[in-house]
Amino acid sequence: MYTDSIRRWATDLRRSGTLANPDGIGEIGLKDGQAGTRPAARFAVTVSDDRVDQIRFQVFGCGFTIAACAAAADLAEGQHFRDVLLLTPQLVDEALGGLPQERDYCADIAIQALHGAVRSAMGSGDVDAITHIAEEDHGPRVTADNPVYQALINSGAAAGIGDEDRHLFACLIAIAAGEPWDTAQALGLSHQAFSELLATCFPGVDQHLLDDTLPDAPSQPQPNDEIRAIVTAHVPQQGNPVAQSMARWLAAMITARSAHPGHLWVSMGLFHRPELTAAIRRHLPSMAAANNKGMRWKRFLFKTLCDQSGAMLCKSPNCGECSDYALCFAPEET
């Protein structure tokens, strides 16, 4: 998935981190409740004679976003303000040797945050914070009267499957069935795995209810391979075969739905945030244990990715002392 060029940039962390006394800071995706729900970046710069003297970046996102920010920082350091403001996502894309089409937005994120840092330095020095385009991502998108949810819940009883798991998978299937893509693919499952899920949890359901795919649908959000590896590593390797299957299905679904904007529990179709934590505790207990501070789940996954790559977005190495604490940790009742 990564070219050699993008791998080099993604591991080029010479300008990753923070500056003690920056003259300007620009960021995208870190305000108005968006932090932890989608890719984000922060650039800090010091300036001298209207030129970018030093530059550092922090990233909350995938390897492509890290690579784009590293390339943007390289293009900007030492340059005059006006030249930095003329940098475009296309120039970042060229420096990387070409991003996959579905990852073009990573260059946009880098350039917007970089330009914000320069504007900040040219002005008051206050943080120039850019908000992603607003989306309806803060409340549940599946409710009990959803026809697919009702059909699944009211289908024949599944032996040995608890109500909480039927609810979990009914929510996930309902939200995916309402999207223009193949339902199984929207959940990150093969058609065989999806059929096994239905046979296990909803043996009486009419599968034709779930076959509505639009031929001219836009490109489906692409799951992040690194996130997949992080989640899959927590699938138990021993135990009841049905429980293992449900853990694999949930891991695949978390990976697929984390590619969507907004809160993970919302993009999974759940009614309430705590349902996601409860499901992870049931099926991916080591993942629940790893998130022992109660961080929001998408934030936790991408922070884990950043920690593994050596990049960082966090303002402070100590979560309890960080001014972004409320953005990363949410009360379970909300």
pLDDT for 210? 62
pLDDT for 311? 57
Question: Cβ atoms within 10 A of the Cβ of 249, count?
Answer: 25
Domains of the chain by start residue, with CATH: 4-130 (3.90.1010.10), 147-290 (no CATH)
Question: Counting Cβ atoms within 10 Å, is residue 152 exposed (0-12), middle (13-18) or buried (19+)?
Answer: buried
Q: How many residues does the chain have?
A: 334
Closest CA to 114 of 135, 130, 93, 94: 130
Element (H, E) at 27: strand 24-28
As a whole number, the mean pLDDT across the chain is 83
pLDDT along the chain (334 residues), means of 10: 85 90 88 61 93 92 88 95 91 91 83 92 74 51 89 85 94 89 91 93 77 55 89 93 95 93 87 92 96 85 77 50 51 51
Element (H, E) at 40: strand 40-48
Rounded Cα distance, 331 and 334, in Å: 6
Query: What does 244-287 look like in DSSP terms, one character per residue?
Result: HHHHHHHHHHHHHHTTSSS-HHHHTT-SSHHHHHHHHHHH-HHH
Predicted confidence (pLDDT) per residue in 148-176, tens digit: 999 999 987 778 899 999 999 999 999 99
Three-state DSSP state, 295 = strand
Query: What does 83-119 look like in DSSP terms, one character per residue?
Result: HHHT--HHHHHHHHT---GGGTHHHHHHHHHHHHHHH
pLDDT for 231? 97
- Contact partners, residue 328, CB within 8 Å, separation at least 6: 35, 36, 295, 296, 299, 303, 319, 322
pLDDT for 242? 93
pLDDT for 312? 55
pLDDT for 330? 56
pLDDT for 308? 77
